[in-house]
Structure 1
Amino acid sequence: MDINALQTLLFVPANRPERYAKALASGADAIIIDLEDAVPAAEKDAARTTLAGWLDSQAPASVLVRINGTGSPWFNQDTLLCRSPAIAAIVVPKAEDPLALSELANATDRPLLPFIESALALSRLDAIAAATGVARLLFGKLDLAVDLAMDYPPPEGEPNDESGFLFARSQLVQSSRVNGLAAPLDAIYTAFQDDRGLTDYVRAGLRLGFGGLLLIHPRQVAPAQAALAPTPAQQAWARRILAAEERVNGAVVAVEHNMVDAPVMARARRILQESDAG
């Protein structure tokens, strides 16, 4: 599994093993089996035991697992589980301590995907991104909203305004770039039957520089993947830009009354590369 190439990551509760196969068949780039928020405290040990047995029958590096936090009573046993060959990477909730991340990476020999979901994590973002074993950053907006006492999420029927998270999202994108990580993965979109809203949400994340997002329901996979792909209009625009570049041999040129120079041409090439990859 190429962690850097993942765009759609689907959560499935560890205490619902009957959903594992459905999640794997959803078409998502990877599934995250969740031992943390999705599992009540009284069921965590049983869920881990069930998951361990299932992992024994899975292909190497085929799934991701979200463990419980470093300060939780379940962390040590979760860490032992993560040595399973079937686990490609570990999703770390409420990551705030770069040293603890490095220790976890060394103990499991697995890449880490830390959740950035608190003010403290944001203040230590570059150190977290640079920690041993960290492969990509994940954005956790719901816990961040609680930590910062933000007016989010809105009551049903009110607009879902994401502008309050712009400062955090931009920091994740910048820190990932500075520290040589693949583009970060955006937070979940909770309205899992709102395909139009999901599409707009995904494209807003792309405009900021995110490389994909986390999903909570299999029905979100197809619309999310469609939204992540370059649109026909973008592809047509890119072809016009590159045709103009070829005519002027890379010099600055006007296309449709807009100046086009090297950065714009690079953007056009990336759009067509993403289209071909899809």
Structure 2
Amino acid sequence: MMTQTAIRPRRSVLYMPGSNARALEKAKTLDVDALILDLEDAVAPDAKEMARAQVRDAVAGGGYGHREVVIRINGLGTSWGVDDLSMAIAAAPDAILVPKVSTSADLERVAHRLNGARVPARVEIWAMMETPLAMLNAREIASAASNPETRLGCFVMGTNDLAKETGARLVPGRMPMTPWLMTCVAAARAYGIDIIDGVYNELDDAAGLEAECAQGADMGMNGKTLIHPKQVAPCNTAFSPAPAEVDWARRIIAEFEREENADKGAIQVEGRMVERLHAEMGARLVAISDAIAARAS
């Protein structure tokens, strides 16, 4: 099992069309944790080259502050993918998002290009999990993180494409998707990478968005991909640790740090039996909370 990737909030991950220069500029002002500057689904074929140039200039120009900047390229099997990857390698964003990943070999091909170009190690590869083969191969794909040279740092669920490819309906509660979502959560956690939930398509259904964000958080997702800035605030709320949870985690950690509890696997804290694993879980919760607080300040 891999060591958990560096803790950083990835509650809200907003897709921004690379062909929309105004959106790329507006993104610098949004209270979002990460931005996916998209060259794939959000860009029409006749705008691909223009979008590539705009994304290149946007990343080079900077100004995105604390926000992680991710470039989603077109698949390498398309007529745009190789040029997209070459641009992304030169731009060196925080991550490059690879679509239609079905095996770890898809990631290794991209990583080989990055490593050959001596791209800084801080640049991660993120994998879109959106095909039937990806669901069957989730463990094998996640295991690529065992090799640091592969740079795999995150799964991104592509629920729209998954529905298209499988025929599964996108219904409230996402019952048809649940086995695949949880399989990918388990695979991501087994190899110490983050996982971001798929988008919610109904822009005017605030209650539905809140419910799906809460579901994703309950599943163990780190955050959710979004398609509109108005979805950011409820998403940040849903994936932020509750103050009461953080306070309880700090108390558990403090008790296990007492000298008399150093060798104990389980103790009582305020009348409740807790195990050392709860302290370990609490440490991650506190780290995320502290990172969010630092960002806010």
What TM-score results when the alignment is normalised by the length of structure 1?
0.83
Answering whether residue 277 of structure 2 is matched by residue 263 of structure 1, we say yes
The CA RMSD measured in Å over matched residues stands at 2.9
Q: In the alignment, what sits opposite 1:215? A: 226
SS at match of 1:72: coil
Query: Displacement of 1:275 after TM fit?
Result: 3.2
Partner-residue secondary structure (3-state), 1:31: strand
Equivalent residue for 1:123, pick from 132, 136, 153: 136
Aligned counterpart, 1:12: 16
What is the match of residue 177 of structure 2? 165
1:177 to 160, 184, 189: 189
Counterparts of 2:216 and 2:209 in 1: how far apart (Å)? 11
**Aligned partners of 1:219 and 1:120: how far apart in 2?**
33
Aligned to 1:227: 238
Residue 79 (str. 1) matches residue 85 (str. 2): yes
The 8 Å contact of residues 74 and 84 in structure 2, kept in 1 or not, is answered as yes
**Percent of counterpart pairs with the same letter?**
30
1:24–1:31 Cα contact (<8 Å) kept? no
* Equivalent in the alignment of 1:157: none
Which of 118, 134, 151 pairs up with 2:169?
Answer: 151
Letter of the 2:236 partner, please give it: Q
- Paired residues of 1:126 and 1:175 also in contact (CA < 8 A): yes
Tell me how far apart the structure 1 counterparts of residues 230 and 37 of structure 2 sit (CA, whole Å).
17
**What's the offset of the Cα at 1:55?**
3.4
Partner-residue secondary structure (3-state), 2:14: strand
Whole-Å Cα distance in 2 between the matches of residues 270 and 3 of structure 1?
Answer: 10
The residue that corresponds to 1:137 in the other structure is 155
Q: CA deviation at 1:44?
A: 1.1
Assess if the C-alpha contact under 8 Å between 2:267 and 2:273 holds in 1: yes
Normalised by the length of structure 2, the TM-score is 0.79
Task: Return the alpha-carbon distance in structure 2 between the equivalents of residues 220 and 62 of structure 1.
Answer: 18
Corresponding residue SS for 1:163: coil
Displacement of 1:78 in angstroms is 0.6
The answer (yes or no) to whether the contact 2:33–2:68 under 8 Å persists in 1 is: no
Secondary structure of the equivalent of 1:36?
coil
By how many angstroms is 1:107 displaced? 1.1
Alignment gaps of 5+ in structure 2:
145-149, 293-297
Q: What letter matches 1:253 in structure 2?
A: Q
Preserved CA contact (<8 Å) 2:8 2:291: no
For structure 1, which segment, 166-175 or 122-131, has the greater mean C-alpha deviation from structure 2 after superposition? 122-131
**Runs of 5+ unmatched residues, structure 1:** 155-159
* Aligned residues of 2:28 and 2:63 also touching (Cα < 8 A): no
In the aligned structure 2, how far is the partner of 1:263 from the partner of 1:4? 18
Report the Cα distance in structure 1 between the residues aligned to 2:277 and 2:192, rounded to whole angstroms.
20
Q: 1:260 to 1:116 in 2, by over 3 A?
A: same
The residue aligned with 2:96 is 90
> Does 1 or 2 have the higher relative contact order (CA < 8 Å, sep 6+)?
2
CA offset at residue 252 of structure 1?
3.6
**Does the Cα contact within 8 Å between 2:9 and 2:291 map onto a contact in 1?**
no
Amino acid at match of 2:173: D
